Structure 1
Amino acid sequence: MSIPMTQLGSRAFHHEENPDVEREYDHLRDMARAEAQKRGDCFERSKRAYEDGDGARAKELSNQGKAHGAKVDEYNRQASEYIFRENNAPGRVDADSIDLHGQFVEEAERILEQRIRADQARGQTHLHAIVGKGNHSANHLQKLKPKVEELCRELGLSYSTEDNAGRIYINLQGGEPIPPQHGGYGGGNQDQGYQPHHGQQQGGQHRPPQQQHHQQQQQQQQEDDYDEGLLPLLLRKLEKACCTVM
């Protein structure tokens, strides 16, 4: 399935102003778009050649289109990994947070699901997903937030959405989604105003809400080796698990 070439916001780098980072990111996405245009042109010409009875030419053009499609995949993979690495560098987000700015929807879904499963396997209790408020998106429409919430429901995870819709707290081990007391950006103050949601099991069955009045404390410290261990692991997984566009 092809990843829609939709820019999610005017700024992919979600920290201090850094024209070099934005320039490199934009360059990679622009290269992907250029290859996508060439791919579409080849396929259109292939279709016309086939209709004209020139099967050999149609096949040649189709193969050229597929080659351009492979380059679309590669440039988008590079852009996704580059901006993920920049936005999630040590010191830019807390160890229990993940910044999805600059990702296409399908990319963000894949990255987040891998992170959720990795954190669950490590016994982590929660994850703080930074999705943005949609201020820079076309028509101010949020695209990452609904996908993150949908993924949580599919995985049966309870989550809380911040009132300004910029951050989502995900409970990884069951129970009520209690937001952390930091902001996810290297230890900033946490704004209050999260709205809790209970996830759904696959197939649409609602998870029974937890009835405990004494909520478990979910401020467990992350392993000290997070920065040195999980982030490189995720990047290696991304290289191996990058989806094929064609």
Structure 2
Amino acid sequence: MSHEMSTQHATRVGARPFNHNQSQAAEEEYDRLRNLARQEASNRAACLQRSQEAYANGDGAAAHALSQEGKEHGAKMEMFNKQASEFIFRENNADGRAAADTIDLHGLYVDEAEEILEERIRYAQSHGQTHLHVVVGRGNHSPDHVQKLKPRVEQICRELGLQYHTESNEGRIYIKLDGSPVEMQHVSKWDGYQTHPGYQQPPWHPQHAQQQPQHYQAAGEGQYGEAEKVARGLLSRLINKLLRMLCG
């Protein structure tokens, strides 16, 4: 789903985008992309303001031209934010930095992290994965040390009917993907990235969910099938997003 990431409502999780020691070049590239997006957001706002002024002055042609220019800046803003989110996600989840059952959302805006996590959950469920560790950060580098991503991840779990538990360092959440209760012996203590012994999962990136066919287990007696549970959860997510847009 396409959405705007303006400087007014986009919130990055933490002031430090990387979860590991990263090269200065990588830091600079990430900041470059986000700064370009902020510039385009500022240009868009200026164009829309001028468009409104032109319309109020009776210059419809100028108002229309400025409105179109504002839309172009908005499209560029989304493009740069998308490039930045893909770059940071790729860096933080590269081979050797995250285990097969772990997804790291550091450095993403909340809405970006939400979309990627939803895709990751669907992909994992379609491949029979029973759990997922989600790195959300502890909010140490956020304003007032308030965790912004963790509440959204917990909300996603509730709306999808998934059980979850905060792990020992409070910066990671363990999610059960099959709807069953969390077994505490499987909730890892934070010591780098961990996974269950012998567990293997196909490689994944945010585009996989759109490319791979989904296969769900048949419904058990007295239970909804996996496909129906996912569909119900996604419908609930859509309704809540629409409500947030209307109330915002």
Query: Which interval holds the TM-score relative to the shorter structure?
Result: 0.7 to 0.9
**Deviations along 1:151-194, whole A, 9 cap, x unmatched?**
00010000001244200000001222134446473449xxxxxx
Task: Please report the TM-score for the alignment, with normalisation by the length of structure 2.
Answer: 0.76
Contact 2:52 / 2:63 at 8 angstroms: preserved in 1?
A: yes
Structure 2: distance between partners of 1:76 and 1:165: 28
Matched pairs, number: 204
Greater helix share, 1 or 2?
A: 2
State how 1:32-111 maps to structure 2 within 5 Å.
32-111=37-116
Bigger mean CA offset, 21-30 vs 65-74: 21-30
The change in CA–CA distance for 1:37 and 1:236 in structure 2 (over 3 A counts) is: farther
CA spacing shift, 1:220–1:153, aligned 2, 3 Å: farther
- Once the two structures are TM-superposed, the CA of residue 238 in structure 1 deviates from its matched residue by 8.1
User: Any conservation in 1 of the 2:123–2:208 contact (CA below 8 Å)?
Assistant: no
RMSD (Å) for aligned C-alpha atoms: 2.1
Paired residues of 1:97 and 1:184 also in contact (CA < 8 A): no
- The two structures have a TM-score, normalised by structure 1, of 0.77
Pick which of 148-157 and 161-170 moved more.
161-170
Give the corresponding residue for 1:198: none
Q: Is 1:28 equivalent to 2:33 in the alignment?
A: yes
Paired residues of 1:93 and 1:184 also in contact (CA < 8 A): no
Identity of aligned residues (%): 50
Letter in structure 1 aligned against 2:161: G
Does the CA contact (< 8 Å) of 2:167 and 2:189 recur in 1?
Answer: no
Please name the residue that 1:155 is paired with.
160
In structure 2, runs of 5+ residues without a counterpart are 212-248
Aligned to 2:199: 222
Q: Matches of 1:187 and 1:174 in 2, distance apart?
A: 22
Deviations 1:104-155 (A, max 9, x none): 0000000000000100000001000000000001111111100000000010
Distance 1:34 1:78 in 2: 15
> Which blocks of at least 5 consecutive residues in structure 1 are unaligned?
189-218, 240-246
Over 3 Å counting, the alpha-carbon distance change for 1:184 and 1:152 in structure 2 is: farther
Partner of 2:122: 117
Taking the aligned partners of 2:128 and 2:12, their CA distance within structure 1 comes to 35
> What amino acid does structure 2 have at the position aligned with 1:156?
G
